[in-house]
Structure 1
Amino acid sequence: ERGAEIVLVTGRRFTFARPIAAQFSLPLTVIASNGALVKSEDGRTLWRQLLPREQARAVLAAAGPFRERALLLFDREAAGQIVVENLDPRHAPVDGYFERNRAYLLQVERLEDALTEDPIQVLFAGPVAPLRELDELLRRAPCAGAISVTRTEYPQRDFTLLDVLDRGCNKGRALARYAAARGFAREETLAIGDNWNDREMLEFAGLAVVMGNSDAELRQAGWALTASNDEDGVALALEKFLLSA
């Protein structure tokens, strides 16, 4: 009734986000994989920004001792979405990840051999401290100017996801492109986030709202603050800044 559109912007794969989008009783666009894929709820690709395969190879070469934690993600329908060398659960992005995603997994001897097409990204997962070290390593690597590195941290779980994407690829850039295509000004955009991979999106939005469970540094960045995930923070933010406006 107010002419607003809802866009689900996530670092997760589209396959993971799609069932969540389907729970809404209105058409929904999904910006997945930290801005690399933009799809309609029914799976139609609006646009995508893939990581050139030569840069993916360069990232794997630059990762050094952290390479064993790498996965490749592809824009595919089923098997081969997630390509791994090592199925050791300790190298999975989250507990039970390999088991839950068995239908999408492809195991290979060398990730480089799977790069017959451009992937969405190279993904690394592991404890916070070593993944911060890898973050710094990749930002100094010879390929640094051709990639984007996005970090999602969960300190309370000592767990980090490090997404390596094409240069300039992030949630903020994808949301800006979508808003422009739909005729919305930046000032008409509200974004809600809770982690470091949301930073560019929050910086773009005319009104940025940070969840109460976010990292303390994000909560102190001067953006509006709402309650935590467990306290219906998103619903409260929409009620305050959209429905009651």
Structure 2
Amino acid sequence: MAVRLIALDIDGTLLDSRWQLPEANRQAIAEATRRGIEVALVTGRRYDFAMPVARKLDSPLTMIVNNGALIRSKEGRTHLRHLLPQSIARQVLELTKPWREGAAVIFDRPLQNQLMLEVLDPDDSMRYAYYSRNKEFIGIAKPLETCLTEDPIQVMLSGKVALIREAESALRGAPFVENFALAVTSYESK
């Protein structure tokens, strides 16, 4: 059976440990698309945060981003969107108040206010580098629930592994757990 699709994660798969795109990977993707194989970049990243990597590839790509909630072409054409109903997002935010410092609400919007935060702390060394690279996409809403004027793509929590495990446990035990999907990525070594 011939290969028809290659799906690649970005971080740690397509990119090396220094977040660089090896020339061998670029050439392999170009050769695959030349042979008619579809290539998809699959990532937890937002579309706009994945695009700098996609632009380094001179090949047609399908972008599966936000942990699968959004599928777009490299050119920006949306093929599929799975949004989180506002009411469920509000319940998630209410349940995760103890971890609010690391909470964000992600929307499918052009540029500004894609990533909504309650606070942007320049002294937060763990998150501020990411915030700095994405400042054109970030908005502030205090309290965070006030940003829920439309269905978001996701509610995201970030922080130290032990704290995120607490939040994960609370969410898995939520009475409304069947109304949302939970995707967890942990970096034990960080």
TM-score, structure 1 as length reference: 0.61
Partner of 1:164: none
Structure 1 residue 122: Cα displacement: 0.4
Q: CA deviation at 1:56?
A: 0.3
Query: After superposition, where does 1:12-31 map in structure 2 within 5 Å?
Result: 12-31=45-64
Contact 1:50 1:121 survives alignment (8 Å): yes
Which whole-Å deviations, capped at 9, do the CAs of 1:17-62 have from their partners, x for residues lacking one?
1121122222100000000100000111111101111000000111
Question: Aligned-pair distance for 1:90?
Answer: 6.2
**For 1:68, which of 71, 95, 101 is the aligned residue?**
101
Q: 1:105 aligns with which of 129, 138, 144?
A: 138
User: Does 2:4 match 1:10?
Assistant: no
User: Which residue among 121, 128, 131 is the counterpart of 1:88?
Assistant: 121
Aligned length: 157
* Distance in 2 (alpha carbons) for counterparts of 1:48 and 1:115: 17
Deviations 1:193-217 (A, max 9, x none): xxxxxxxxxxxxxxxxxxxxxxxxx
Counterpart-to-counterpart distance in 2, 1:56 and 1:151: 17
Once residues 34 and 78 of structure 1 are traced to their aligned partners in structure 2, the CA distance between those partners, rounded to angstroms, is 19
Return closer, same or farther for 1:100/1:119 CA change in 2, 3 Å cut-off.
Answer: same
Amino acid of the structure 1 residue aligned with 2:42: V
Change in 2 beyond 3 A, CA 1:55/1:92: farther
- For 2:157 and 2:89, how far apart are their aligned partners in 1? 12
Which amino acid in the other structure matches residue 167 of structure 2?
L
Partners of 1:61 and 1:94 lie apart in 2 by: 22
> Relative contact order (C-alpha < 8 Å, sep 6+): which is higher?
2
Q: Which moved more, 1:91-100 or 1:113-122?
A: 91-100
The secondary structure found in structure 2 opposite 1:155 is coil
Cα separation, partners in 2 of 1:135 and 1:88, compared to 1, 3 Å? same
Distance 1:92 1:37 in 2: 29
CA contact (8 A) 1:81 1:105 kept: yes
Which among 165, 175, 178 is matched to residue 132 of structure 1? 165
Distance 1:54 1:19 in 2: 33
1:146 corresponds to 2:179: yes
The structure in which a higher percent of residues are strand is 1
Identity of aligned residues (%): 44
Give matches, 1:1-245, under 5 Å. Answer: 1-89=34-122, 94-157=127-190
Gaps of 5+ in 1: 158-245
- Tell me the amino acid that sits aligned with residue 20 of structure 1: V
SS of the counterpart of 2:185? strand
User: 1:69–1:91: 8 Å Cα contact kept in structure 2?
Assistant: no
Moved over 2 A (4+): 89-95
Aligned equivalents of 1:92, 1:58: Cα separation in 2: 29
Does structure 2 retain, via aligned residues, the 8 Å contact 1:39–1:45? yes
Q: Secondary structure at the match of 1:96?
A: helix
Cα distance, 1:68 vs. partner? 2.8
Tell me: CA distance 1:36–1:42, structure 2 relative to 1, closer, same or farther (3 Å): same
- Return closer, same or farther for 1:20/1:9 CA change in 2, 3 Å cut-off: same
**In structure 1, C-alpha distance between the alignment counterparts of 2:180 and 2:126, rounded to whole Å:** 21
